[in-house]
Copies of this chain bind each other. A is one copy, B any other.
Amino acid sequence: MAESWATLGIDLHLEPTGAGGLRRGLTDALRDAVRTGRLAPGTRLPSSRTLATDLGIARNTVADAYADLVAEGWLTARQGSGTRVATGIPATVGEAAPAPRRRVRGRPTHNLTPGTPDLAAFPRTEWLKAARRALTAAPNDALGYGDPRGRPELRTALAGYLARSRGVRADPGNIVVCAGFAHGLQILAKVLRARGARTVAVESYGLSVHWNLLTDAGLAIPPLPYDERATDTRAIPDAGAVLLTPAHQFPMGTALHPDRRAAVVDWARRTGGLVLEDDYDGEFRYDRQPVGALQGLDPDHVVYLGTASKSLAPGLRLGWMVLPPSLVEECAAAKGNSDGCGVLDQLTLAEFLTSGAYDRQVRSARLRYRHRRDALVAALTARAPEVHVTGIAAGLHAVLRLPPGTERSVVQAAAWQGLALHGLATYRHGHADTDPLDALVVGYGTPPDHAWTAALEALCRVLP
C-alpha cells in the first residue's frame, strides 16, 4: 500500500544504510540530511506512520529514530505541530553564492550606464492582469512544445502593432519570437554562416557583446565609416549582411540619413545581401514621429529585430524578428525548441499588445524619459557649458561630447564618486577608421525616478 508515498505531505528522499540495523540506518540518514542542509531548519517531517509506509518499515522504527534525533537536538517534537527540523543548526549548504566572473568593487551609488530602462516603471499590476486574462483564455495545447516561431497569438499581435507603430510590413507567419535581440542575432548568425556568408559589416560604434556573437559564429565584422550622416552605407564591402541601428544609431543617437537608407537597400537588392535592422528603442522618439522601420522599404532584404527589453524589461527575455519569407524556415529550425521563450510571457505580451496596455506603457515611459532628457539638457547648459549634448531626439541615452583627452579621467572620477558611467571608447569598434571622440554615453533611462535627480547631480559634479 503505497498511497501515502504517492499522495501525502512533502516528498522526502532518504536512503537508510541498513548497516547497524534499520533504526540506526534511518537515524543516520535523517541526521545526515539535517546536517548537510538537505532538510532545512523548520521543515516539518512526515508523520512516523507516513514515512514508515513510504519506506516499507515498521512505524515504531521511525518513531524510535525520530525520538533519538529529538534527544540529540536535530529535531523538535511538539504537540499539534508534529516533528520538525530544529532551528539554529548551522547548515553546510550556503545561500546562493555571488555570481562568478564579476568582481563588484562595491555597488555604485548612481547608475547612468545605458541599455536598461527604468525597471521601477515596469507595469507590474497591468502585466499580472494581462497574464491572468491570457492564461485563462489559453488552450491547453499552448502549454506544450510549440511552434519554434512562437505562439501565434503573439505573432499576430506583433504583426499588427509593428505595422501600425513602426511601418513594418509584417505577416505573422514571417515572425519568429526569440529571447531578446541577442538571441535573434545568434540565430541569424548561424543561418547566415550555414548559407555560406563569411562577413557581416557592422557600424563603427556599437555593442561588443553583439559583435562577439557574430565572430563566435565564424563571421568577420568589418566596420563601416561613421560621419555626420550616420553610418556610411554607400561602400558596404563584399559582405553577406550588414547590421545597422537605422532609427537611432547606438550609441551615437543619430538617425540614418535618407540617402544612406536608400543606399543600403540598393546594396541589398544589387548583391542579394541582407540588412539586419536593430530597432532596439524605436518607440522612444520625443519631438516628432519616429522615422519608420527600414524594413518597410524592402521586406525581402531587411530583417527587422525588436525587443521588449527597453519598452518593458530585459528580464522578460522577449524579442522578435520579422523575416523575409525565404529565411523563416531556416531561422525557425536554427532556433528549434531547445531554448527560451516561455509561452506564458508570450501570451501575456500578446494580450498586453492587443488590449492597448502596451501603447499606454510606451507613451507613459516616453513622457517620463523626455522629462529626464529635458532635465539633463537644462542641467548641462547651466553647469557644464563646455559639454556638447547630441543624440537626444530619441532613446534612453545621450552622448556628451567632452574636451579632447578628458574621457578617461572623467569616467575614472565618476567611478570614484560611486557613479557608474560609460565612455564612448567602450562602444568603439577596434578597427574603426573614424577618429576617436571623447564622449560619455549617458543612460538617463536607467535610474528609478527617486534616484534620478541625485544621479544627474553626481554627473554634473564630474564633468569638466
Binary interface encoding of chain A residues 212-227 relative to chain B, with 1 for a CB under 8 A from any of its CBs, else 0: 0100000000000000
Q: State the Cβ distance, A36 to closest chain B Cβ, in Å.
A: 7
Q: What is the CA–CA distance of A170 and B39 in the complex, to the nearest angstrom?
A: 12
Interface residue from B39, B93, B328, B364 paired with A159 (Cβ < 8 Å)? B93
- Nearest B residue to A172 by beta-carbon distance? B96
User: Residue A397 at the B interface, CB < 8 A?
Assistant: no
Q: What is the CA–CA distance of A337 and B212 in the complex, to the nearest angstrom?
A: 13
Report chain B residues within 8 Å CB of A7. Answer: 363-364, 366-367
Q: What is the CA–CA distance of A75 and B143 in the complex, to the nearest angstrom?
A: 39
Q: Could you tell me which residues of chain A, from 156 to 172, have a CB within 8 Å of some CB in chain B?
A: 156, 159-160, 163-167, 169-172
Q: State the Cβ distance, A139 to closest chain B Cβ, in Å.
A: 9
The answer on a CB contact under 8 Å between B96 and A329 is no
Q: What is the CA–CA distance of A316 and B145 in the complex, to the nearest angstrom?
A: 9
Binary interface encoding of chain A residues 373-403 relative to chain B, with 1 for a CB under 8 A from any of its CBs, else 0: 0000000000000000000000000000000
User: Residue A292 at the B interface, CB < 8 A?
Assistant: yes
Q: State the Cβ distance, A449 to closest chain B Cβ, in Å.
A: 11
Interface residue from B13, B39, B144, B340 paired with A116 (Cβ < 8 Å)? B144
Report chain B residues within 8 Å CB of A124. Answer: 135-136
The answer on a CB contact under 8 Å between A95 and B172 is yes
Which one of A342-350, A435-443, A456-464 is at the interface? A342-350
Interface residue from B292, B340, B448 paired with A340 (Cβ < 8 Å)? B340
29 A-B residue pairs with Cβ-Cβ distance under 8 Å, sorted by A, are A6-B367, A11-B362, A12-B164, A13-B166, A40-B160, A40-B164, A54-B289, A55-B289, A56-B288, A94-B171, A95-B172, A99-B147, A99-B148, A99-B332, A100-B329, A101-B333, A119-B140, A120-B140, A140-B448, A144-B314, A144-B315, A145-B314, A179-B339, A186-B338, A315-B344, A316-B343, A317-B340, A317-B342, A342-B342
Q: What is the CA–CA distance of A131 and B127 in the complex, to the nearest angstrom?
A: 11
Decide: A11 near B165, CB < 8 A? Known: A6-B370, A97-B172.
Answer: yes
Q: What is the CA–CA distance of A116 and B318 in the complex, to the nearest angstrom?
A: 24
> Lowest 8 CB-CB distances: which A-B pairs, in order?
A340-B340, A97-B173, A38-B163, A182-B338, A315-B343, A11-B165, A96-B172, A96-B152
Q: State the Cβ distance, A382 to closest chain B Cβ, in Å.
A: 23
Binary interface encoding of chain A residues 114-149 relative to chain B, with 1 for a CB under 8 A from any of its CBs, else 0: 011001101010011001100110001111111111
Interface residue from B149, B286, B292, B356 paired with A13 (Cβ < 8 Å)? B292
- Nearest B residue to A344 by beta-carbon distance? B345
Q: Which of A55, A96, A313 is the most central at the interface, judged by chain B CB atoms within 10 Å of its CB? A: A96
The answer on a CB contact under 8 Å between B101 and A164 is no
Q: Could you tell me which residues of chain A, from 1 to 47, have a CB within 8 Å of some CB in chain B?
A: 2, 5-15, 33, 36-40, 43
The answer on a CB contact under 8 Å between B93 and A122 is no
Q: What is the CA–CA distance of A146 and B289 in the complex, to the nearest angstrom?
A: 33
Interface residue from B132, B155, B182, B448 paired with A337 (Cβ < 8 Å)? B182
Report chain B residues within 8 Å CB of A136. Answer: 124
Q: State the Cβ distance, A369 to closest chain B Cβ, in Å.
A: 9
Q: What is the CA–CA distance of A43 and B353 in the complex, to the nearest angstrom?
A: 13
Report chain B residues within 8 Å CB of A33. Answer: 163-164
User: Residue A64 at the B interface, CB < 8 A?
Assistant: no
Interface residue from B289, B318, B339, B356 paired with A5 (Cβ < 8 Å)? B289
Report chain B residues within 8 Å CB of A228. Answer: none
Q: State the Cβ distance, A50 to closest chain B Cβ, in Å.
A: 12
User: Residue A300 at the B interface, CB < 8 A?
Assistant: no
- Nearest B residue to A159 by beta-carbon distance? B93
The answer on a CB contact under 8 Å between B144 and A135 is no
Decide: A143 near B119, CB < 8 A? Known: A101-B333, A128-B135.
Answer: yes
User: Residue A266 at the B interface, CB < 8 A?
Assistant: no
Q: What is the CA–CA distance of A135 and B129 in the complex, to the nearest angstrom?
A: 12
Q: State the Cβ distance, A253 to closest chain B Cβ, in Å.
A: 17
Q: What is the CA–CA distance of A185 and B336 in the complex, to the nearest angstrom?
A: 14
Decide: A119 near B144, CB < 8 A? Known: A13-B165, A170-B93, A179-B340.
Answer: yes
User: Residue A240 at the B interface, CB < 8 A?
Assistant: no
Report chain B residues within 8 Å CB of A283. Answer: 11
Binary interface encoding of chain A residues 412-427 relative to chain B, with 1 for a CB under 8 A from any of its CBs, else 0: 0000000000000000
Q: What is the CA–CA distance of A142 and B314 in the complex, to the nearest angstrom?
A: 9
Q: What is the CA–CA distance of A131 and B159 in the complex, to the nearest angstrom?
A: 28
Q: What is the CA–CA distance of A9 and B96 in the complex, to the nearest angstrom?
A: 45
